[in-house]
Structure 1
Amino acid sequence: MGVFVQVVMVVGMLTCLATVAYAASGTATYYTPPYVPSSCYGYQNNGVMIAAASDVIWGNRAACGRNYRVRCTGPTNQGVPQPCRGQSIVVKIVDYCPAGCQGTIDLSQEAFSQIADPNAGKIKIEYNQV
């Protein structure tokens, strides 16, 4: 039984490491209410921990409903104070950020505020699907 527990622990640790290894880098901006209608769900309310996907992850609507863990890694402009709050969030993709979108992920204002100072406007992030 002891060997089984050790194997399960090692597999769990490797899974965690693999998740970290697959984090992609990008940028995040934010948008403000109203959050409906959205490209994925029309007038359905999906709360405030939501985001719009840019072409990088949109995949012709394939991103609809996917959850992403997003973590602020720093400012996009040199000389700007550190905007990051040191935590990560999970958001659900509910909308499309059209061509010309300024970020990889366009977070709701509430989601952005949890990971960074909104005054930054745009931040560097790491993100992965969860």
Structure 2
Amino acid sequence: MASASHRRPLRKRRTALVWTVAVAAVGLLVSLVIALRPGGEPDTVRTAAGTAATRPSVSPTTHKPTPAPKPSTPSPAPKRTPAAAASATTPPARPSPVTTRSPAPRPASGTAPLAGRIKPGTTYTGVATHYDAKDGDGACLYGPSPDLMVAAMNHTDYETSQACGAYILVRAASGASVTVRVTNECPLPCAPGQLDLSKEAFAKLAGLSAGRIPITWSLLSPATSDTVSIRYKTGSSRHWCGIQALGHRNPLARLEVRTGGGWSRLTRTEYNYFLSPDGTGCGGSLRLTDIYGEQLTVDGLAIRPDTVQPTRVQFTRR
């Protein structure tokens, strides 16, 4: 039987062993708790040297790494509209060699409702040639001209003598200009827009040796102190007559005769007379209308064939 002195050390050893086991159990339990907590890893790790190091804390919200930017692809070139493509590749259209219209201001009257092919406020493009105008008479049958600043209008723009008596401002590419009066017709092959000028008028624009030059031209309403005159054609009577107006400032659109029922419009011929084939209105009152619609009335003219009879009226300058 062991002595009391021997039992005390044994009891102490047992007590120490119990504490050792308890501490070990607690340590194991703590390790399991730490291992099983949310996050799944302890806050400390062992370094290669065996020392403890603190692990960086992790945010409860997982942060996805920003993906590397994709290599940028060049954006497609903007598509050109048809208009842009045309402007970049197509040369500008050349002006018409015949007739073109410029955005010139309209005449003071604002309208010319009775104008034919030749309209006020319009610039026409064509060519000028020249001919021997002699005394200035031509298809319009005005007779000798007081000057030779005259022109023959191409057949198309002559328009059954509607161009007769029109004043035209003609400009050359050099900047030179001349004003002419239409007294004649230039037959085919004169093209629309072409003017056949007297040699005297052509010489104001270029040397006669040039023969043919590009021009622009437009209608004028010139200043004048003259009044309109009337002439009955040779052979006119109460039974048949041809009537012509001369010296009108603006192109003439209509000539009418007074009848019992009002005004009767006469037909215009290519030789610039208005005919009354049955004598209606011959020797009576006349009414003249220009391309702007202005009307002039002429009374008291007797039938005097082939005689120029002046009046006291004239169209307004435009």
TM-score by length of 2: 0.30
Matches within 5 A, 1:24-103: 24-73=124-173, 84=174, 86-101=175-190
- Deviation of 1:109 after TM superposition, in Å, equals 0.2
Q: Is the 8 A contact 1:56 1:104 kept in 2?
A: no
Helix, strand or coil at the partner of 1:110: helix
Root-mean-square deviation (Å):
2.1
Helix, strand or coil at the partner of 2:200: helix
Aligned partners of 2:210, 2:128: CA distance in 1, in Å?
10
Whichever residue aligns with residue 152 of structure 2, its letter is A
Counterpart position of 1:104? 194
- Deviation of 1:53 after TM superposition, in Å, equals 0.4
- Deviation of 1:101 after TM superposition, in Å, equals 2.5
Cα-to-partner distance string for 1:2-27 (whole Å, 9 max, x where unaligned): xxxxxxxxxxxxxxx527x7211100
Counterpart selection for 2:204 from 92, 114, 122: 114
- Percent identical among aligned pairs is 30
Aligned partners of 2:153, 2:199: CA distance in 1, in Å?
15
Aligned partners of 2:167, 2:136: CA distance in 1, in Å?
18
| More helix as a share of residues | 1
**Larger radius of gyration, structure 1 or 2?**
2
Aligned partners of 1:68, 1:56: CA distance in 2, in Å?
16
Matched, 1:129 2:219: yes
Matched positions, count: 102
Q: 1:53 to 1:33 in 2, by over 3 A?
A: closer
- Deviation of 1:44 after TM superposition, in Å, equals 2.9
Q: Is the 8 A contact 1:23 1:127 kept in 2?
A: yes
Aligned partners of 1:35, 1:56: CA distance in 2, in Å?
24
- Deviation of 1:38 after TM superposition, in Å, equals 0.9
Structure with higher RCO (Cα < 8 A, 6+ apart): 1
Aligned partners of 1:34, 1:98: CA distance in 2, in Å?
18
Helix, strand or coil at the partner of 2:130: strand
TM-score by length of 1: 0.69
Aligned partners of 2:149, 2:137: CA distance in 1, in Å?
15
- Deviation of 1:37 after TM superposition, in Å, equals 4.0
Counterpart position of 1:77? none
Whichever residue aligns with residue 94 of structure 1, its letter is T
- Deviation of 1:39 after TM superposition, in Å, equals 0.6
Counterpart position of 1:18? 105
Q: Which runs of 4+ in 1 moved over 3 A?
A: none
| More strand as a share of residues | 1
Stretch moving more, 106-115 or 96-105: 96-105
- Deviation of 1:42 after TM superposition, in Å, equals 5.0
Q: 1:119 to 1:65 in 2, by over 3 A?
A: same
